[in-house]
Structure 1
Amino acid sequence: MIPPANASPEAPNHQFRSLSPAVWRASTVLFDTVADFTSRKDRLFDGYTYGVTGTPTTRALEERVAALEGARHCVAVPSGQAALCLIALSLLKSGDHVLIADSAYGPLRTFARDYLQRFGIEHDTFDPSAGADLAALLRPQTQLVFLESPGSITMEMQDIPTIVKLAQAAGVRTVLDNSWASPLGFRGVPAGVDIVVEAASKLLSGHSDLLLGTIATDNRSLYEAFRTTQSVLGQAVSAEDCFLALRGMDTLEVRYAHQCASALAVASALASHEAVAEVLFPPRPGDRSHARWEATFTGGGCVLSFVPHFRSDAAAHPFFSALRLFQIGASWGGVHSLAAFYPQAEQSKRQHCAFNAGIVRLSIGVEPPAKLIADLEQALQAAAAH
């Protein structure tokens, strides 16, 4: 029998169970009564009102990420950058001021420079090595401090405990992009960070096949502000992408442990290579940021950088052409290893960059580390021959 056109689909009965979460796709949410419909905005934060704010599949992901972060609330948005921008648009107004770590994600700094300032919101970047001296940069108008520790290219570790303490004393909220470590390596909310962002496209999903971001917080008023902005700006996420992220999180701990160990092995091998000036990977003993990493973090990451002894940036071309296992790509966190190059000119654009050289960034996947090391060694040899 064909059901009437106005019938709503029912959930499976209790005799059906599956190891896979259900994919609930919807733009339209149905209501039992007109009273429920006219009061639908009352359930914006704790229920379902319209597809843009999520379905049960979205909520399953948000609840799982919140639990992993040690937070009460989570909002899923279309990407990590969308999460950062949504936070700013939710909390800032004309006349406000924000501080951004100079090593933070480049598009965030571009958003502050080219968009926020149009609305009368000022920003300053700060030296990522700053600690208590960051207090001198705080103004009465400062509302947010954006952190990313370590920076995803130059790998500087911020002094998160000190910055959180001074920000709290000044009534300033802190935002941490925690995509490198994930909640397995560092849980920002229990450490006092007000808002934690994950680029769930990366480690959480783990397979380089979706774009997704999450915002976690313990603060109910902040959560409501983010959920409202998500609705107003139409920042919807796909139920399929949420499903893929949930599936990826089933293997997160296994992938994370393997990739972190492999990254450390690769970093250690590169550190003793004659063609490498410096390896940037805080979990490696001897790294310039190792002490800060060891004092605060309980896990590593799968992304590292190194400064090669190239005669010029042009020498990067034969190096990348010679790579066999590593693919060239800008993202990271998936099961396949990637390599990217950031020329000297890009470092010079930053106000507080300690490096005046081209930088190679590696994302270590799940391939055997010995094979990855061999691939890098032969590529470095090929570059030296030019």
Structure 2
Amino acid sequence: MSSKQNSCFNVATQLTRLGRDPGEQHGFVNAPLYKGSTVIYQTMDDLEHRRSRFTYGTAGTPTIANLENAWTQLAGAAGTVLSPSGLGAVTLSLFSTTKSGDHILMPDSVYRPTRNFCNGMLARYGVTTTYYDPMIGSGIEALVQPNTSTIFLEAPGSQTLEVQDVPAIVAVARQHGIKTIIDNTWATPIFFRAHDHGVDVSVEAGTKYLGGHSDLLLGLVSANAESWPALRATYDAMAMLPGADDCVLALRGMRTLHMRLKEAERRGLDMASWLQARPEVSRVLHPAFESCPGHEFWKRDFTGSSGLFSIVLKPGYTREGLARMLDHMAVFGMGFSWGGYESLIIPFDCAQYRTATSWKPEGLALRLQIGLEDIDDLKHDLDQGFARLK
């Protein structure tokens, strides 16, 4: 079904139809899995002129194209490329908008591996990075340099969940001819349509909610018409593509993405409200809560919230107590990533690597991913944990 035909449906319906065509699949509901490297040409002339929809495995397969096309329509983009991980998607996007001698602006709340890539790989290639307060809004104009090529955003921010004023920053970027990239993993295009807000390139870790089952690593990068040629050229030069099996898992995850996100939103809000009332908790960092920096921007620009948020404990608790709490959780696991069916909890402290802002919370901080377990079991597990904390 064409993009125009699909666009007349609401998003939940679109997700059941994107990236497949039973009419071309002998009536089967799901598209077949294509795995391979070599593409056979019928004539020498076809071979010499690369006259084929798919020229070689690194240029894509029907399976990869199904996911690319589906995500392009969902994100409202001109095109999408894939990578084997969310970080791979970040690096692809930055390589597509920078060259040696450029300067980029990066929020201080950005995903730490993205920061490491800027401070390491990009710096080696002569790209300099200035970190900025994620709440700077239109004030970011004061940080623009003559060689600034890219402003990166992440809304909400990693771990501390600050929601940026995306339209204000995009307006400054457009005024100066600067490209904008956003890491939109937390909201996905379901809750925030980045390209509709003027962002040039949108990055998604499909590892999280698109996969939904903690069993694949995947990145997606979508771009508007202006930025699409450079992004595709960068992708073609690097051939950093995922395996076809992972694309099938992602397409399967897409069918239930809306339903799972809405349930993650419901559960996340329930758990965050319960935690806000706990005597051990000082504040909740959840974009839907007024205590979260940038809540007003979330309320204005986003259509929902997912199941990842953080809390800051009241002063006085120790790391030893925290270890007693976390080491013996019965339901919550300790592990990185999120967006899967299992609930996760990790401590964090970004004071050591933030450079544009100071992270000085009043107490210890925890990030929680709310999964699909019974809510009462999750609350009981935390209640027991808080008892050990004391």
Same fold (TM over 0.5): yes
The 5 A counterparts of 1:213-232 are 213-219=219-225, 222-232=227-237
TM superposition shift of 1:285: 4.3
Aligned to 1:350: 354
Q: Distance in 1 between matches of 2:138 and 2:231?
A: 29
Q: Are the aligned partners of 1:78 and 1:213 in contact in 2 as well (CA < 8 Å)?
A: yes
* Equivalence for 2:93: 87
Aligned counterparts, 1:205-354, within 5 A: 205-219=211-225, 222-309=227-314, 311-342=317-348, 344=349, 346-351=350-355, 352-354=357-359
**CA shift digits 1:327-375 (9 cap, x unpaired):** 1110000111111121x3x323202144345421111112232321221
2:93–2:203: 8 Å Cα contact kept in structure 1? no
* CA displacement 1:84-143 (0-9 Å, x = unmatched): 111222231121000001111111111111111111111100001111111000111000
Aligned with 1:33 (options 29, 37, 43): 43
Secondary structure of 1:31 counterpart: coil
CA offset digits 1:165-197 (Å, max 9, x no partner): 111111101100000001111000111000001
Match of 1:142 in 2: 148
- Corresponding letter in the other structure for 1:289: G
- Paired AA for residue 375 in structure 2: P
Q: Distance in 1 between matches of 2:25 and 2:127?
A: 55
Which stretches in structure 1 are left out of the alignment for 5+ residues? 1-11
What amino acid does structure 2 have at the position aligned with 1:252? L
Identity of aligned residues (%): 37
Deviation, structure 1 residue 159: 0.6
Maintained 8 Å contact 2:195/2:202: yes
Structure 2 unaligned regions, length at least 5: 1-21
TM-superposed deviation, 1:13: 9.7
Change (3 A) 1:260 1:13: closer
Per the alignment, residue 75 of structure 1 pairs with 81
Cα distance per residue 1:187-211 (max 9 Å; x no partner): 0011100000100010111111001
Counterpart in the other structure of 2:174: 168
Q: Secondary structure at the match of 1:150?
A: coil
Inter-CA distance 32–287: structure 2 relative to 1 (3 Å threshold): same
Structure 1 equivalent of residue 11 of structure 2: none
Shift in Å at residue 292 of structure 1?
Answer: 1.6
How many Å separate the matches in 2 of 1:79 and 1:14?
30
Q: TM-score, normalised by structure 2?
A: 0.90
Tell me which residue corresponds to 2:55.
49
- Give the letter for the 2:333 counterpart: Q
Amino acid at match of 1:204: L
